[in-house]
Amino acid sequence: MTQWPEKDEQIRRAHAGLIHRVVHEVANPGSVPDLEQILKITEENEWTALVAAIRRILAGERELAALGPLDEEDRVIVESILRGIQNPDSLPDPRASADPAFAAPALAAMIHAARGGDVQALQMLGNMATQMLAAGGDMARIAGILRPLVEGERDSNRLSEKMSTQAAELVDAIVRELKRLETH
């Protein structure tokens, strides 16, 4: 099986729910009733190139180059979908969370920027929340705490209630990084 660079693997893990849903829909058309709603929300959150590429995949396109210009994150998601269609064993584990060492600083930076009024950061968080909700489980729970974090909540115990140990560690790492950013 192909090994992905660590950064790409983190992207795959973060978007595993969406990747699996698209691959499942391609294999069994009509089997993912919430896919259209997820794509609509994703598009509303300005991931238009990604949604356009996914729609082309759903219509039968299988060549990455024919799917239009994609940024790095979109490209990793689309490549994962295309590889998953060819070989379902290549799909990311939908239960694996992103590594807190990689995810926490990036999420904290976006939350900090959104809290400071950065509209683009707020839009990116909204987009990420949509993808995380689609993944379900702890990812959906983490999506649910993004707004309180932007609003200033810093009690990691309260934020991580009902989360697995790994997700709670991610929340704690995000809160620590936010506190560090807020003191500088």
Q: What would the mean pLDDT of 167-182 be, rounded to a whole number?
A: 91
The 10s digit of each residue's pLDDT in 71-103 is 888 899 999 999 999 999 999 887 665 555 567
115 pLDDT higher than 90? yes
Task: Give the separation between CA 176 and CA 105, rounded to whole angstroms.
Answer: 9
Could you tell me how many residues make up the chain?
A: 184
pLDDT tens readout for residues 116-137: 998 888 887 887 888 787 777 8
Q: 117: phi > 0 → left, psi -120 to 50 → alpha, else beta; which?
A: left
E strands, the chain, where? none
Tokens of 3: 């090994």
Q: Around 39, how many Cα atoms within 13 Å sit in the side-chain half-sphere?
A: 19
Is the pTM above the cut of 0.85?
no
Report domain extents, the chain.
6-90, 100-182
| Tens digit of each residue's pLDDT (9 = 90 or more) over 58-68 | 999 999 888 88
- Which of these, 144, 145, 146, 142, lies nearest to 111 by C-alpha position? 146
